Homo-oligomer: A and B are copies of this chain.
């Protein structure tokens, strides 16, 4: 199971008692759905405005919500994730990195030179596409700043 602290539990429970979805919260907060879920699971930090929207939408008293996030402090992203992931959906993403890792590196180095894609100056989102035959496809976009190695 995901790394679930008591705030995650509070948020998930509150969300399940409203009609809100990650999608509707995304509209409300003006952040991507993955970022909303990341707020829930402790991999992102809320702004003051995020706190107010979440408090209203999920009917969690503002002070309780604020102090919950303060108690977490700065996110320790990744700490609660067992690797390699056993959960099948997450494993598929891991497998893509494993199978195409060198190919991504070769293409990106050719395109940009010696450097990396930032996972910090980074955003991501998820979309659903439906083909004519009714099949559904998930499109995950990763957008990261290119950081060239600094010469020293």
Q: Give A residues with C-beta under 8 Å from B.
A: 1-3, 12, 16, 21-23, 31-38, 40-41, 43-45, 47, 70, 73-112, 114-126, 128-129, 135-152
In the bound assembly, the distance between CA atoms of A119 and B94 in angstroms comes to 9
In the bound assembly, the distance between CA atoms of A47 and B108 in angstroms comes to 19
Not counting A34-B100, A77-B88, A92-B119, a sample of 14 additional A-B residue pairs whose C-beta atoms are within 8 angstroms of each other reads A2-B102, A34-B152, A45-B114, A78-B87, A81-B99, A83-B83, A89-B104, A92-B116, A112-B128, A117-B138, A135-B146, A136-B145, A139-B141, A140-B143
Q: Which of A34, A81, A147 has the most CB of B within 10 A?
A: A147
A-B CB contact pairs (8 Å), 14 listed: A23-B110, A41-B106, A73-B109, A77-B98, A78-B86, A78-B99, A83-B94, A88-B120, A92-B116, A111-B128, A112-B136, A120-B147, A121-B148, A138-B143
- Cβ–Cβ < 8 Å partners of A75 in chain B: 114
